[in-house]
Structure 1
């Protein structure tokens, strides 16, 4: 199990992006959270099998999104670390 932390920048706050991210993560069987940051980015933390995390990362950055992703993503910066054992997926 791995942990992906992705910082998503663009027009991603106030448009349903966190809700969409949660639905994608749950579809992939991942746990974690999507959180608005004060600098306008959304921080996505997800844990699970590496292939599912890589799929989520690809979905976050798709241009244009084939999955009707809300907002506009300009960049996604990812960080990989060992899983910590989080459960569920929350939007904050």
Structure 2
């Protein structure tokens, strides 16, 4: 498998997990499927953007632990951010 496909799969999975968990913790949820889907989209977008800025995350043709952990971390965090933003847009804070 190509390094691009492996990195994208890692970003999608960690983004879905990060979006699901963090949206549940904050209470700004879109439901189970909505949190996972928005997290996966955020994980993929954030991961691809960061890979263009930090080429070491792309793996450079090899399969190393630094690129795997980097992709998991970036995907999880960016997935969590997008899931909470989407939850805030759908369910705004009421004062």
TM-score (norm 1): 0.34
- The higher radius of gyration belongs to 2
Q: Answer 1 or 2: which has greater strand percent.
A: 1
Q: Answer 1 or 2: which has greater helix percent.
A: 2
